[in-house]
Amino acid sequence: MLAETGEDGVVVAVQPTALYTLFYIMFYTSRKGVLHINMYFANGLSNAIVGALLATTALGDSLQVPRRAAADVVAREEARAVGGMATEAKMRKRADACINSISEKRQLAAREAKTVEIGEDMYGTGDDTIDTAGLATCFGVAFAGTWAEGKSGDFDRAMSHTYADAALDPDAPLAFIDLVDNVQQAIQAGLGVNRIVMVAADPASYTLEDGWSQEEIDMYADEYQAYLDAIAQAWTLSPEEKKHDYNEVWRLSIKSDKTIECGPEGGENKCQN
């Protein structure tokens, strides 16, 4: 029971246990990094409760739930229209407005901006964006795809950022290996390939004149080719190679519409189709 009413139907008390239950649900249903979503949700539910209480009492016929003044004229006209409705219609009008507000806030919150750090792989869907930076001597791989009709999965875009030292450190390419494996499974489940981009230092930029030994030059060239071979074998398509001098620092991004951009940090996009 949310409220107690007097004999004349006017709300005289709201049980505190109802508010405690509401915020208990908001807190313990929150997930890491999205607590603000639940607070928006709590605000929406609180507005709905207040609106329902006002609409079902004598106060509801004389008071209106306050509205933001961003569009004063429209707000006044809507208030007059609601004021002339029967109590049931008022409740439905306010409930619809609350549901629409919650839906819009959930859609905005669902658009997650993900940043891939070195040694990580990340995945997204919907309007998610995925970005990484600091690609100098590292490998950045971006994948975007579309699910076949009647098929669906947890992601339709993915990215990894790994450093180039596989010959000396077997753990260096682990995030890339996970990316290749997860995307391969998704492809087998019905995810089509839209585009694959690999950003990496050009093997030709490593020279003896710059102080690199022939062994180091050959080691990096072999690793670069191993990345290409792994993608082509697992995903049946070779990536677009975006090579740069190892002295340059590049960025790599997958936008909300799954377009892929890359280029020098602070510079123009070099990944235009």
Q: What is the pLDDT of residues 213-234, one digit of tens each?
A: 999 999 999 999 999 999 999 9
Q: Which residues contact 253 (CB under 8 A, 6 or more apart)?
A: 129, 130, 131, 132, 142, 260, 261, 262
| Each residue's pLDDT tens digit, 40-77 | 333 443 444 334 434 444 434 433 433 344 445 444 55
Q: In what order do the strands lie in the sheet with 250-254?
A: 113-115, 129-135, 250-254, 260-264
CATH of region 113-264, choose from 3.30.1330.200, 3.40.50.970, 3.40.30.10, 3.40.50.720: 3.30.1330.200
| Each residue's pLDDT tens digit, 76-102 | 555 555 455 556 665 565 556 655 655
Name the pTM for this structure: 0.61
CA distance 252 to 134: 9
Boundaries of every domain in the chain: 3-110, 113-264
Q: Would you say 156 and 127 are in contact if contact means Cβ atoms under 8 Å apart?
A: no
